[in-house]
Amino acid sequence: MAKGFSDFLAGLFSPVLKAAGKFYLKSVMQTIQDHNTLEVYTNTLKSINSSFSLLDEVAKKSKTKVDDDLIEAVLEAVRESANEDNIAL
């Protein structure tokens, strides 16, 4: 019963945590861009996208949704930042 309840709570709060995490990550991406060269910013986005894309494949095979949502939030934040700045990943 405890596992079912924890899954319920995770499902309930997951969209909120994902949105908050994505918002925070986009602000981190902006800080990286503001304090570095375009090359450093571009390489950072590409590296995070590559790493988290691999993690995404593994996480989707797990039986939990929370890790899927967190990884998805990171990927969305990186991809949206790259898109906004016309950076090809």
Assess whether pLDDT exceeds 80 at residue 10.
no
CA 85 to centroid of chain Cα atoms: 17
pLDDT of residue 2: 57
Q: What is the pLDDT of residue 69?
A: 83
Q: State the average pLDDT over residues 41-68.
A: 89
Specify the pLDDT at position 1: 46
Helical (H) or strand (E) element with 58: helix 38-59
Contact (Cβ atoms closer than 8 angstroms) between residue 17 and residue 72: no
Higher pLDDT pick, 65 / 71: 71
CA 57 to CA 19: how far, in whole Å? 21
At 28, list the tokens: 């981190």
Q: Where are the domains of the chain?
A: 2-84
The 3 state secondary structure assigned to 18-29 is HHHHHHHHHHHH
Please name which of 48, 75, 45, 80 lies closest in space to residue 60, comparing C-alpha atoms.
75
**17-26, 27-36, 65-74: the lowest-pLDDT one:** 65-74
Q: Which two tokens stand for residue 37?
A: 């060269």
